Chain A
Amino acid sequence: MQSNKNKIDEETLDRIISAAYKDAGLIERLKIYFLAKKNAGVKSIYNEYRTNADRVKKIPPEECPDSVIESLKIKTMKENKFFILKPAYVFIISLIVISTFIAVLLYQNKEKKPTYSRAEIELAEKQVKESLAIVNRIFKRTESLIQEEVLPKRVGKPIHKSLSIINEVLIGG
């Protein structure tokens, strides 16, 4: 084929290839057809290219393996578009979530407000009074202890003694 090719110029070869691959128009293809009838070299080259052109055109696209699509499902689910929403949507969704949270908190607080019976309140008041009475009694005892024991004996006496010493020093006798 190399010798045939040498006899045919590059432009003719390009035309033959285009005709073989059916790229050329009908008239051009007819021209090559008649040229091939007259020239054995052209015919040989045309046939060779034509054979391979037919084979190339029969090649089916490769089947994409299912594993690619399966792992794609997992990856696209992970990178779900919900998580890359526009800022406005994020703001609205955040607002709704926070409002709901606050509402739930408030509702729960209202619910937890204790309700007591009258008897319980009266009992509590009585207990408070008793406690206060005990405290009062303690304070009264403390007061009398301070007035009767602490002040005269522990405070009054030393002060009186100190003053007498000072008088003795100052007046001299």
Chain B
Amino acid sequence: MLETLGYKSLVNRYKNQIFSYALYMVKNRMDAEDVSQEVLIRLWKNMGKFKLPAVGSWIMRTTHNLCIDYLRRDQTMKQRSIFIDEDFEDRIIDGNKLNQPEVTTLQSITIEKIKTAIQKLPENLKSVFVLYEIEGFKYKEISDVLDMPLNSVKVYILRARKKLQEELKGYAE
């Protein structure tokens, strides 16, 4: 009974983080949903096997590993991601806003374009960037989740920011 309650609260606490991370990594909603579901099932099966303070790291590590598995398994991922990206932009771009004179070219980059640009980052940079900037993890936590030296985490975040800047410049031009 207590375990079920604990599980429910963990699901509520982490479901969006899991889905969000998965969506950035696998780049399509269907696979992101599958990954999220699998993570939450594994969480249920492993309830009581890990200490509560480490649960966040455990969840994100599992999510990351599953995303990598999905990416490796899916041979057609590249084609699908292109399709999804197009879909993403069609849904998101606010045409009216772009016509407003006060909105500069740079400002016309919508949040969704940034999301798309993040999705285009290489996997190793993207995982670190999303965990740090979107999910709000600390350097140390990311180092634990991705089993990566602390310095590498810092370097990857810096590289990801530069890469993202270049990517967004492409949108602005």
Contacts and interface: CB of A to CB of B under 8 A. Distances in A.
Interface of A: 1, 13-14, 17-18, 21, 48-49, 51-53, 55-59, 61-65, 67-69, 71-72, 75-76, 79, 81
Contacts of A1: 169
A14 B29 CA distance: 34
A17 B44 contact: no
A79 B168 contact: no
Identify whether the interface residues of A are mostly helix, strand, loop, or mixed.
helix
Contacts of A62: 16, 19-20, 23, 32
B162 A68 contact: no
A63 B41 contact: no
A51 B106 contact: yes
A48 B106 contact: yes
A52 B114 contact: yes
A9 B32 CA distance: 40
B41 A72 contact: yes
Contacts of A79: 41, 44-45
B165 A56 contact: no
Interface of B: 3, 7, 11, 15-20, 23, 29, 32-33, 36-37, 40-41, 44-45, 47, 106-107, 109, 111, 114-115, 118, 133-135, 158, 161-162, 164-165, 168-169
A110 B45 CA distance: 47
B126 to A, nearest CB: 13
B44 A64 contact: no
Given A52-B114, A72-B37, A76-B41, A63 B19 contact: yes
Nearest to A14: B158
| Central interface residue in B133, B164, B165, by most chain A CB within 10 Å | B165
A67 B33 CA distance: 9
B37 A75 contact: yes
Contacts of B3: 81
